[in-house]
Copies of this chain bind each other. A is one copy, B any other.
Amino acid sequence: MKVHVLTIGDEILIGQIIDTNSSWIAQRLNLIGMKVSQMKSISDELSDIKSQLQLSLNAVDVVIITGGLGPTKDDITKKALAEFLNVPLVLHEETLQSLFRFFTKIGRDPNTMDLAQQAQVPENTVVLPNKMGTAPGMWLNTGLGKVIISLPGVPYEMEYLMENEVIPKLQTTFPSEIIIHKTLLIAGIPETTLSQRLETFENELPHFIKLAYLPALSQIRLRLSCSGDNKQLLEGLILEKTNQLHNILGQLVAGEDEDTLPVVIGRILKKNNYQLACAESCTGGFLSHIITLVPGSSQYFKGAIVSYANEIKEKSLGVNPVTIEKYGAVSEETVIEMLHGLLAHTNADIGVAISGVAGPDGGTLEKPVGTIWVALGSKEKHQTFLVKAGKNREKNIQYAAYVSLNYLRLFLLN
């Protein structure tokens, strides 16, 4: 089952934003055994949209369009779809009512706005209600069993509609063979080393089981996919292969399925009834951010001191100014004092302290950009780590945070 993804918007074609929707859609469709065979980014022009729709429908059964659904003048996807299908745009009453409720709720007067235009859809459209925004998703049957699906370009709206509306509807409309996936979250090993470690395992996999590496910053998702007709057999096989991977990789396996490092950490902390706190210098709040993105994190996260200025390191964390002067703010000595100051001040059971040179400036010969010190542990026992990251500020911040979380995971486990 092949799918084309069409991204509409001049902002992509001039390189102002990078299309991440197509990639997300491709990954998600893969999980239900559908394959994106082409991704196209095209302009906000009626004729272009129509001719590309035609080309794609000649080649595949499902075309997913993102973008061009906003209320402004340059958003013309709906008009293009109506012209392409040779149907009028008609008012969708439920969408109009939901827009009315939405704007009333956020304190704006819906009567001053042209909501009717926003609530229009091509005739015969199956409207996919968008609980995350104002532009509805649309499912349009084009005849001959082919389908056009139009979604907003805003990623979280698109993702919501894919998960809750499109995927279930695709699965019932185009039933395919059974695919079972199992994902393991691997942390603390580079991809090349991991693939060497798994060479024999991979070579011994039967042809209907595939292993995919999905690398992210300092983490890799390993995905086993197994397809066939007999669900019970497939589930047994996946379980067997998953257990083999656990045996080979041990504590390198940080979690399963949708787990992320912050989720895994949260689970361990809750289980042990530990309270966590952070002292962040170069990561500037990012570590606390990814920890608190997890719903319910207030159960185990006390808070953080983002000690960007040395003055805050001294005042809030009790770091000795002499330590900073002698060893530098980016040093093992300083992060240890940050950690102990943090634990004393917040009364947390476990703490993480990070100080580094995120860049692009601030590097020296001895401590180049990407030099990051981490201390973590409790009042009784702590560990320190020197992390060597790269030259990109944003990546260094993210890398430092995720690597620290993985060290924290191992500390808590052992």
A-side interface residues toward B, CB under 8 Å?
10-20, 22-28, 30, 35-44, 48, 52, 55, 70-75, 106-108, 113-114, 118, 131-132, 154, 156, 181, 183, 190-193, 195-196, 202, 210-215, 221, 223, 225, 275, 278, 280, 283-289, 291-293, 295-298, 301-309, 311-312, 315-316, 345-347, 359-362, 388, 390-395, 397
Contacts and interface: CB of A to CB of B under 8 A. Distances in A.
B303 A202 contact: no
Given A72-B213, A292-B308, A14 B30 contact: yes
Nearest to A346: B312
Given A13-B36, A74-B212, A285-B285, A301 B308 contact: yes
A395 B40 CA distance: 27
Contact of A285 (B113, B210, B221, B280): B280
A15 B27 contact: yes
A35 B15 CA distance: 10
Contacts of A10: 210, 212, 225
Contact of A156 (B39, B202, B292, B392): B392
Contact of A292 (B44, B118, B284, B305): B284
A336 B236 CA distance: 58
Contact of A288 (B25, B181, B223, B285): B285
A397 B39 contact: no
B316 A308 contact: no
